[in-house]
A = this chain, B = another copy of it.
Amino acid sequence: MTEMLKQIPYWEYLTEDEKKRAAESAYIRHYVTGEQMYGPYVECVGMIHVLKGETRAYLLSDEGREVTLFRVVQGDNCIISASCVLAQISFEAHMEASEDSDILIIPVELFGEFCEKNVYVRCFAYELATTRFSSVVAVMEQTLFSRLDKRLAGCLLRLYKKTGDTEIRLTQEQLAGQVNSVRETVGRMLKRFAAEGMIEIHRGGVMLKNLKKLEETAR
């Protein structure tokens, strides 16, 4: 476990005693795709380090609309799942495993104690939150200011580049979640894309037909 913990960026700031206690309390948990990791009804689990996979933090409206705030990829840490430790984080974010993930967890009680007693760990936690702050503002700018056709085309291209497959197997609901819109609006936009020959709409997904035109739209 100690070898694994050495990957954590704040490891070097811990005292010998804190390192020992971290090694005793830390554990690895596997989450399956879509599994809730944190939210109003899920306990504050602790400070997480993504060993494998990807997690996603998002807001959820009363009507079930989702807005992705940021993603935490392999090698990254996230304070949201331990946000009960920082009184300054007052919003109710959700976090889920967006892929099958192995997560190294420092339990919240211990991480809270580190933050309280060790100014370097506390500083790291706030620094990490500040980094996420910038991502969230970027999402906000994109969502509020950028046009949906641009966002949707960009999203389809990203999904294609990730898998190399022109068949995107996501429902309109899921695509709407990706671009922070609603199903109806995304459905209309997809129909427009199809009419322009950029995509074909299939059951449970879309097939990309004209990558060049999609790239022009995304610009």
Q: Please report A residues at the B interface, Cβ cutoff 8 Å.
A: 59, 61-63, 65, 67, 69, 86, 88-91, 93, 119-120, 122-123, 126-127, 129-134, 136-138, 140-141, 143-145, 180
CA A137 to CA B59, docked complex, whole Å: 9
Q: What are the nearest 8 A-B pairs in CB distance?
A: A126-B126, A61-B145, A133-B133, A123-B123, A91-B137, A129-B130, A88-B130, A90-B134
Minimum CB–CB distance for A186 against chain B, Å: 15
Minimum CB–CB distance for A162 against chain B, Å: 24
- B contact residues around A132 at 8 Å (CB): 133
Minimum CB–CB distance for A132 against chain B, Å: 7
Are B140 and A67 interface neighbours, CB within 8 A?
yes
Minimum CB–CB distance for A168 against chain B, Å: 24
| Nearest neighbor of A129 in chain B, beta-carbon distance | B130
Are A134 and B91 interface neighbours, CB within 8 A?
yes
14 A–B contacts from the bound complex (CB under 8 Å)? A59-B144, A63-B145, A65-B144, A86-B130, A88-B133, A88-B134, A89-B133, A90-B134, A123-B123, A126-B129, A130-B133, A136-B136, A140-B140, A143-B144
